[in-house]
A and B are shown apart, each in its own frame.
Chain A
Amino acid sequence: MNFRTKLGGALLAAALSTTAFHGAFAADDTIKIGVLHSLSGTMAISETTLKDAMLMMVEEQNKKGGVLGKKLEAVVVDPASDWPLFAEKARQLISQDKVAAVFGCWTSSSRKSVLPVFEELNSILFYPVQYEGEESSRNIFYTGAAPNQQAIPAVDYLANTEGVERWVLAGTDYVYPQTTNKILKAYLMSKGVKEEDIMINYTPFGHSDWQTIVSDIKKFGSAGKKTAVVSTINGDANVPFYKELGNQGIKAEDIPVVAFSVGEEELAGLDTTPLVGHLAAWNYFQSVDAEVNAEFIKTWHAFTKNDKRVTNDPMEAAYIGFNAWVKAVEAAGTTDTDAVLDSIIGVSVPNLSGGTSTVMPNHHITKPVLIGEIQADGQFEVVQETAAVVGDEWSDYLPDSKDLISDWRKPMSCGNFNVATGKCGGKGS
């Protein structure tokens, strides 16, 4: 008897915990939005900032009177850097909390994990981080950079201004660096760089012993041609990497390193004096000289009550995504997913670098590419800025994706239209 009640009780408790506790349904005068960022586990280091940024933007929007006359309410959950938990939490946000849209995810894995959930339950996700491209979902907006909004302009800068002829592509072994390096290799070879002048190297997550690799880079760089490192090394591994670079005396004037995953936040744990001149490519730097940016930083410092908290590119992407959503909801007059999906395409909102960003039919956005050099104070100084670039979801430099396009406007409404066969759905066969 004892055990029956126990087991039954356990199952009941499980069911209850999921329904009753999250059953706090929105009052009629609020619109709920979901914030799906890891607050614990390995990714908390990057994602917590975005959660704070989202809360700040919600607060600011509410000061301005909310959306459609209703207050916004952020529902924060913690997927704990656990990819299946991302899917579970996404489902919870959409079907239990009935949020109008979700802002979240950082890694590609987490996005891949929630993608089927968003398509099944027909909700909207704004994904604010630079990624490898090769995806376009009806229900996701990619406000971070695609490879052509970050990697290719950076390589162009090095080749044209610094005269680089030899390339080390160093990355953490996961999908973003693998894809980006494939694209870069194809791109460089199309520009006449020889295969032996490209060295590709992958390391595990959180790699901390860079002695061998840095000395390999030194060796590779002593072949008489100007050499640069293109780094897609992920978050945690960067601090030891840069420390080793600094200690082994690799100066930016000799072998510059351009990074795609290193921003103000990552440099915050580092003395950047030996790194002055190494580069990063983003769509936003905290040091950008624009009024809207100064305002944003001021609000951020006030909100976090910390004058030292830095801002970074994914925050800008979240900012653009949030404002685009607000504008689209106001244009549609409702938070209904289908209506917002229709009204958001073509919406232009100011970005933090002083221009505007437009949501394109491929669910990516336009934004300028900035190349910045690391300064001794941990900030970047912009040395080149391009005009706004449209995010290219299907790379032109990969054989299987060069014929694909994405256009979510009717009547096409297709994320992978093949222009060679004229059919939707990959090869269209």
Chain B
Amino acid sequence: MRFKSLLIGAAIAVAVALPGQAKELRFAFQGDLKSLDPYNLNETFTLGFLGNIYEGLTRRSPDLSIEPALAESWSIEEPTRWRFNLRKGVKFQDGTELTADDVLFSADRVRADGSDLKTRLAGVVDVIKVDDHTVDFVTDAPNPILHAEWSTWYIMSKAWAEKNGATKPQAATGNEENYATRHANGTGPFMIETHEVGVRTVAVPNPNWWDKATHNLTKVTFTQIAADPTRVAALLSGEVDMAYPIPLQDQARVDANPGTRVLAGPELRTIFLGMDQFRDELLYSNIKGKNPFKDHRVREAFFRAIDIEAIKAKVMRGNSQPSAMMVAPGVQGGGDPRFTRLGYDPDKSKALLAEAGYADGFEVGMDCPNDRYVNDEQICLAVVSMLAKVGIKVNLNAQPKALYFKKILAPSLDTSFYLLGWTPGSFDSWNVLYNIHGCPDESGKGKFNLGGYCNPKVDELTAKVLSETDADKRAKMVSDAWAMTIEDISHIPLHQQALSWGVSNKVELAQRADNEFHWRHVTIK
């Protein structure tokens, strides 16, 4: 079986290659490709990787704007009915043709039990086949950003899934392996040749791809290299052509090496601090009987005690963009010039604390991951020492993400003060307002609002943003909602960390701010 697919792959590779030229892209990433099933895990790397094999109705260009992919065009027929016209003549990699049935099938599959991408079709009440190449999506309420996340909702072949018994995604809790876990059949520019779980994955170009290939690759090999120094060494020694992420302390070395360079760019993830504002008494503090974080002055004092430029210069080695907002400039509603950070002012911070009745400061526990974000623990240590200068004694508990998330996420919410990062999957402010600023309730609102910040006016506006279809009005509402949360100091935004890709000089590629790596933009000299 493996030998056969190797032969086929080799034949294709030969057919596609320019005479006598093999252009192989070898790349390494810190993490692992979890499953080839595109509905299994809503995670950037896995979905980004699969975006080379599978395609959605839409796709994102390198600057993240939405462009047509499997749907040639779409229109909003009524506020609650979107029509998508499928591209004709698109073939899956097994040779079957893409039709509306495949879209309907994928819509069912992505909403089935075991799918982690159910939210892609949240609010869609009906998917209707108009004809073989036209599909209507009916929503329960107007939704102007219905298709914002559809570039990672990949369309699967109904015939293929039925033939191989993969009509449902593999439930995380299931007892049997699903065929789609180790096999893929997309419409995209590349197809899987071999996939050794957790070791190596090899892909070759799809000769029947509908779009014109602008890359010149004949083969792509992915290997996970988890250890930072090994990943950097593999890049420096030329054993891989691209590796990411490059640790900040190794960037200079990669740049100094004659054959390699670092591509740094802003990422969409915002790193921030959160404070418990809902308990009447903090879980980890020496102040009993009241919660200092309920006092706006205390939150402001914390904000003003943090020297974000020092964090940028010392901890992040210049690789961060201090942020006034809880969303990055690349996100809809982000980069609003209306907002600036509260200035760093330890004296004012002390004065505010004194005014709030904490002239001698107080103690508080802080939770921090140490293997999740770029230099996360070091950021927390810097915050601890900065707060110490205004009299706040912070007891830091930095631990691996598996323990950290168990402690701080709902339902336990076992934290008083924490560091977290967030990228809205839809690249839109609504996601952040809803998940991180909404008053937590049973519906899932405020799911990641771990400090329980709650302002009903913000909630009201957030709900309106969801269904407002006029772009200008919507932008105004988003801006006003942000104004309220910033005024309240709901959280303390820190910065957007920088992407850090190490690339061989013979490789040209497009770096996307969402940290997805698309090989169709790669050329090798």
A and B part of one assembly: no
Question: What residues of chain B have their CB less than 8 Å away from a CB belonging to chain A?
Answer: none
Question: What residues of chain A have their CB less than 8 Å away from a CB belonging to chain B?
Answer: none
